[in-house]
Structure 1
Amino acid sequence: MTESRVLVQIDGPLAYVTLNRPDKLNGIDLETIDELIAAATSLRGNREVRAVVLRGNGRSFCAGLDFGAAFKDKKKVARMFFAGPRTVNRFQLVNQVWRELPVPVIAVVHGHCYGAGLQLAACADFRFTTPDATWAILEAKWGLVPDMAGTVPFSELLPADVLMRLAMTGEQFSGARAGELGLATEVSEDPLKSALALVDQIIERSPDSVAATKQLVYGTRRGSLRKTYRLERKLQSAMFKASNTAIARKAGAAKTKPVFGPRTFGR
């Protein structure tokens, strides 16, 4: 029997949700997406849970989307990616569900925090990281844009020029730098200990006011999420079709420097 890709452990008022593909640096495949959504759905119905800690087994929090594993089933990828104009797709839902959960969600980051993993961390309410963790909005390496709901929290947390620099280049930066930029809530040699200290403070307050506060903050931050997500899908669809995307993927897989053709997107 295949071991679960996502482990859920309830410890009194605290739920631990752990990415469990340590041999793949917790790279996200299609099954991981399904299990993360299922985990969030089950926690939503548990009114005894007061906070959630998101973390990763092994050497990393999450090294991003596991393209090799995910794209073995291209038909399922297509079904999960394309959504009607009034809904989010599964790739967006896997991260958006944590923002919608009526309890605080804390990502505890170590090792790699790349691409889809960084979008998952960004969609948590708080991010605690080791100073030597490595972060990157890595989609640029593959000729893509962030399209797993990360656009919303990235835009909330970062100035536009900083976000564009990180998203356009895919440059790597440390957990310490993530703290300086405001992406990380706190930098600590023991981020789990720091996260649990925050949990202790939160559970001293009314769970209703905590839930209402979360809804209030997110509900007043920006305009329509659906419009933002539709734009994500539109741009990513264009990237999938772009010839330079194939060049980026080939070079990324071969670990060589890509040689791109002329720009094909945008007027």
Structure 2
Amino acid sequence: MDRITVEVRDGIAYATLNRADKMNSLDLPMLEALATVPDRLARDRSVRVVILRGDGRAFCTGLDFAGAKLQGLSAVRNFGKFPGQKTNLFQQACWAWRELPVPVIAAVHGHCYGGGLQVALAADFRIATPDCKLSVMEARWGLIPDMTGSVTLRELLPMDVAKRLTMTAEVFSGTDALGYGLVTAVADDPLLAAEELAAQLIERSPDALAATKKLFDATWTSPPRWAFWTESLLQLRLLRGRNHRLARKAGRDGSPVWAPRSLG
């Protein structure tokens, strides 16, 4: 059984964590799927937006310690570099979604703990139910958030809040998460809200979306000099692209039929 199922409809790829009987917890096959599915989605130029969700009662309850093989030689191998990447398997399971050159929206419900939260944080947007339960759970097991949480948490939280949530493993609601800045919005039906946001995004040039994601991800905490160089480089690529010409031809109130994404 595939750990992640993918269905593409009208430019939206629905990537669904498919281990509902275990509340989508992260065993080795799930981690491998999370690390590799984004590359397949990136190669499909018909995909304009990705909605990442969990089947059943939860988004993801975090690591399945037995299934993730954290002991012996398997642990050593999985903590080594993922092929062709700067990350290990656990990190790439999150970072691959960050590097996907289309917007990723996580629709979060039920429980979102530990590694599952770090997967959600790797998305560009997170929409959660108000009563969803979230936690940086690792401290409960005597661990730290090591699936790129050191990057994604610092981008969203003040350091003292990040330390408190991580050190205490406090469980908080979707409404609390909105107040912290960990989620983009709350909605009773996060999938519907994600689809509404996806529909807005699809109206825009896929190259502009890819460039915006790359620009902010690459420069958000960088010195101004690097940010200015990056935005100039990306803008030059957009100006030379077909989708910019289509946008200008359509005018301010037009609705261009966009060409396939050329960036990313």
How far 1:91 sits from its partner (Å)? 0.8
Comparing 169-178 with 32-41, greater Cα deviation is found at 32-41
Q: Does the residue aligned with 1:180 lie in a helix, a strand or coil?
A: helix
- Find the partner of 1:42 among 40, 47, 50: 40
Instruction: For 1:59-208, list aligned pairs within 5 A.
Output: 59-71=57-69, 74-83=72-81, 87-208=86-207
CA distance in 2, matches of 1:146, 1:6: 23
- Inter-partner Cα distance in structure 1 for 2:149 and 2:70: 24
Secondary structure class of the residue paired with 2:66: helix
CA deviation map 1:218-246 (0-9, x unaligned):
1111259xxxxxxxxxxxxxxxxxxxxxx
How many residue pairs get aligned? The number is 221
Partner Cα distance (2:193, 2:3) in 1: 25
Give RMSD over aligned pairs. Answer: 1.6
The amino acid of 1:13's aligned partner reads G
| TM-score normalised to structure 2 length | 0.81
Quote how far apart the aligned CAs of 1:73 are. 6.5
Cα-to-partner distance string for 1:102-156 (whole Å, 9 max, x where unaligned): 0000000001100000000000000000011100000000111110012211100
Which 4+ stretches in 1 moved above 3 angstroms?
none
Query: In 1, distance between residues paired with 2:71 and 2:160?
Result: 36
Q: Which amino acid aligns with 2:144?
A: V
Q: Hey, what's the Cα distance between the residues in 2 that align with 1:96 and 1:65?
A: 16
Work out the CA distance in 2 between the residues paired with 1:39 and 1:169.
33
% of aligned pairs identical? 50
Q: Secondary structure at the match of 1:113?
A: strand
In 1, Cα distance between equivalents of 2:208 and 2:93: 25
Aligned partner of 2:205: which letter? Answer: S
In the alignment, structure 1 segments of 5+ residues that lack a partner are 225-267
* Residue aligned with 1:69, SS: coil
Query: Is the Cα–Cα contact under 8 Å of residues 131 and 174 in structure 2 kept in the other structure?
Result: yes
1:156 and 1:38 map into 2 onto residues whose CA distance is 24
Deviations 1:35-61 (A, max 9, x none): 122211100101110000110010000
Q: Which amino acid aligns with 1:108?
A: A
Compute the displacement of 1:99 (Å). Answer: 0.8
The residue type paired with residue 103 of structure 1 is V
SS in 2 for 1:17: strand
1:168 is displaced (CA, Å) by 0.5
- State the Cα deviation string for residues 180-216 of structure 1 (Å, max 9, x = none): 1110100010111111111111010000001000000
SS at structure 2 position matched to 1:60 = coil
Show the counterpart of 2:251: none
| TM-score (normalised: structure 1) | 0.80
Contact kept? 2:36, 2:96, Cα under 8 Å: no
Of residues 162-171 and 63-72 in structure 1, the stretch that sits farther from structure 2 once superposed is 63-72
